[in-house]
A and B are shown apart, each in its own frame.
Chain A
Amino acid sequence: MQVKMTVNGEEREADVEARMLLVHYLRDELGLTGTHWGCDTSNCGTCTVAVDGQAIKSCTMLAAMAGGRDVETVEGVAVGGELDPVQEGFMREHGLQCGFCTPGMIMTARWLLARDPDPDEATIREAISGNLCRCTGYENIVRAVRWAAEHPEGATDAEEVSA
């Protein structure tokens, strides 16, 4: 079946089986491998993308169900080569080691900050409770999200110099 949706602002279309999951549509049909494919069981959260602004696990949504909707993946986060504050926060606060969970973490963090621009640590930990990280112990991820909350416009010029 033809499945058409907006992905990172562009109309995309592919002829796929009805049973194809959104994560495989993004990765295998569109070549957007930034969205990672992990547990397949809606546990790990590395496949998290935004569909119509809601962070969801793309291993548990059919591509057909995303038809006609607005999908954002981690590839769509940076604008014009400028990192999003969440991406910059992960870089500055060392919010990743192996990087496997990072796309999901970033998409969930952006969804959180859109709802709650100034979340406390407990709120951040609750928000990312469906995203598993086996490297960091989460401390630096929480700091990264806090950095983004404190720098909604990104880094200032002074911080650029000291970084």
Chain B
Amino acid sequence: MQVPETFDYERASNIDDAIALLERHGDEARLIAGGHSLLPMMKLRLAFPEVLIDINDVPDLDHIRIDGDEIAIGAMVRHAAILDSALLAEHYPIFRDAERVIADPLVRNRGTIGGSFCQADPAEDLSAVGAALGGSVVVRSSSGSRTVPMREFHEGPYETKVGDAEILTEVRFPIRNATGSAYEKVERRVGDWAVAAAGAFVQLDGDMIADAGIGLAAVGADHFIVPDAEAALRGKPAIRESFEEAAQLCHDQCSPVTDQRGPEDYKRHLARELVLRALTRATARARGEES
């Protein structure tokens, strides 16, 4: 029987309340949202917070909406809501691609985007999606909100820019014209963590690539990205040769490790192949050839 170490339970009624509880209980307190990363870690005694602060009752964190020239996603938005969102499917189908292969429908009913980002698991899919798209993360403390660029948010495995008495409130992605996005993942069985996965974002200017983003999960890419591969795409024609060059750079510059999910060379092969597929599909979507 897997049971966490003992802790005290608090339930926050709003964001200010959650921050006040964090300040009162110090660095041994943790927020709990869907709980599908933190509770398993607590059962395995990989995490043993002294106080859990439940934020499931906190209002105003469950929106997916257009806000100015960005799409804003509240931290408590569940995976299931991301999968079902017509707004996200219209602007960034990469979310739908990724959510279809994140765990299973029951887990997706609980897990949240804020929890996924803050867990910062190097194999986590939404973090790779965020890396591909760029954008920003809004973090609040008692002294106000600050905005962290997406690509600076993750400091390393299981580490983010969120401080002890701070709460991630929102994730924001810019709305851009002539874009396409896609996510490709290989897993050992349905619902598993990725052996390797790649997200791609492409913005076209006619036949040329105006901008591109690539996010990699589970292959040891720092901050989930390979900047050289993205730089290699900008200003190039949107054709297979350009995608292959970027995919090769991902193959060469990622740092996968051999583990129970597969050997290192296989993961590099997957990184190349999945980047190639994701770029190809993202480009087809940018051209309106695929939904």
Contact = CB atoms under 8 A, between A and B. Distances in A.
A130 B35 contact: no
A62 B9 contact: yes
B2 A40 contact: yes
Interface string A95-111: 00000000000001000
A130 B107 contact: yes
Interface of B: 1-9, 11, 32, 35-36, 39-40, 42-43, 52, 54, 56, 103-107, 109-110, 190-191
B35 A19 contact: no
A42 B2 CA distance: 12
| Chain B interface SS verdict (over half) | loop
Interface in A6-57: 17-19, 21, 40-43, 45, 48, 54-57
A65 B40 contact: no
Contacts, number: 79
Interface residues on chain A, size class: 20 to 34
Contact of B36 (A55, A60, A64, A131): A60
A127 interface: yes
Interface in A53-85: 54-57, 60-62, 64-65, 67
A136 interface: no
Which of B36, B105, B106, B110 has the most chain A CB atoms closer than 10 A to its own CB? Answer: B106
A18 B6 contact: yes
Contacts of A17: 6
A41 B54 contact: no
A114 interface: no
B176 to A, nearest CB: 31
B52 A56 contact: no
Contacts of A108: 105-106
Most chain A beta-carbon neighbours within 10 Å: one of B4, B7, B105: B105
A41 B32 CA distance: 17
Given A55-B109, A130-B191, 14 more contacts: A1-B9, A19-B5, A40-B2, A42-B107, A48-B106, A54-B110, A57-B106, A60-B36, A61-B110, A64-B54, A126-B105, A129-B104, A130-B105, A131-B106
